[in-house]
Every structure is written in C-alpha cells, then in structure tokens.
Amino acid sequence: MTRVAFQLQVRPELLDEYLARHSPVWPEMLAEIEAAGRRNYSLFLADGGTLVGYYETDDDTAAQAYLAASPVAARWEAEMGRFFIGLDGRPDQAATTLTEVFHLEDQLADAGGSAASDIDDNDTHNRNDTEGSAS
C-alpha cells in the first residue's frame, strides 16, 4: 500500500466557495475516486488556504491514469482548477506531492513491535505532562 500526501494553495477569495463545493462532492466523483483505487482520502485546510490531501492506494500510477481518463473526473477537475494558485494542469494531476518523513506503524514494525510494550508501568507515571507526539 502506498500513502500519498499532496499540497495545493486555494485562492483566499474563493475559500468559502471551495468549501461549499466539497459539501458534498458529486456522488459520481466519489464513485470514480473509489473505482480508481484510492481510499482513506481526506483533505485538510490550513490558515491562508493551504490544502493538504492524503489518500492510500495499492497502485498510485494506475489510480492517476484511471482518473486522467475519467470523463467525470475531467469535469470535476475543470471546475476545481480555478480555485488554486500556481497550478499548471489539472489539480488531481499537478498537485505538489509531499515526502513522507515519519510513519508510526513502519517504525514500530522495524523496531520489532510496539514501543508501548517496552515502557514499564512505573515509567509512565514519571513522564512530564508536556511531552508531545512526534512532529
């Protein structure tokens, strides 16, 4: 399985309309995303219009090709293109892909199990309340 994250920049003056267009997405577009083999697909919006997307797939090249050939996706992406800054091409094909730098399950597997099992109950009481997650 491949995890894919990408970033786009939504035009600030079109943010409200962009959000409205995703609530809900066309049912036929949802079906095409699923048929392409993408799952666990989410979009996250940060301040200033930075949009980060994430999905999982078994074959991203095949998923991209499926959507590139889909008339439904072509219509959707043609309508979505105007919402983004600095994009050369269809949003689904031209978004900036992000590099994964950390994945908990991969590192746990490489370490041979759960890190939580290595922590003694007494150690958990000695943790500082300001400890946070990996970032």
Q: What is the residue-wise DSSP string for 108-133?
A: HHHHTS-GGGGS-HHHHHTS-TT---
Q: pTM for this structure? A: 0.80
Instruction: Provide the CATH number for the domain formed by 2-97 in this structure.
Output: 3.30.70.100
Greatest alpha-carbon span in the chain: 59
Residue 113's pLDDT is 73
The answer to whether residue 27 scores a pLDDT higher than 60 is yes
E strands, 10-117, are 39-45, 50-57, 96-97
The answer to whether residue 124 scores a pLDDT higher than 50 is no
* 125 is annotated as an active-site residue: no
Specify the higher pLDDT residue, 119 or 11: 11
- Selected catalytic residue, list 22, 39, 75, 103: 22
The answer to whether residue 114 scores a pLDDT higher than 90 is no
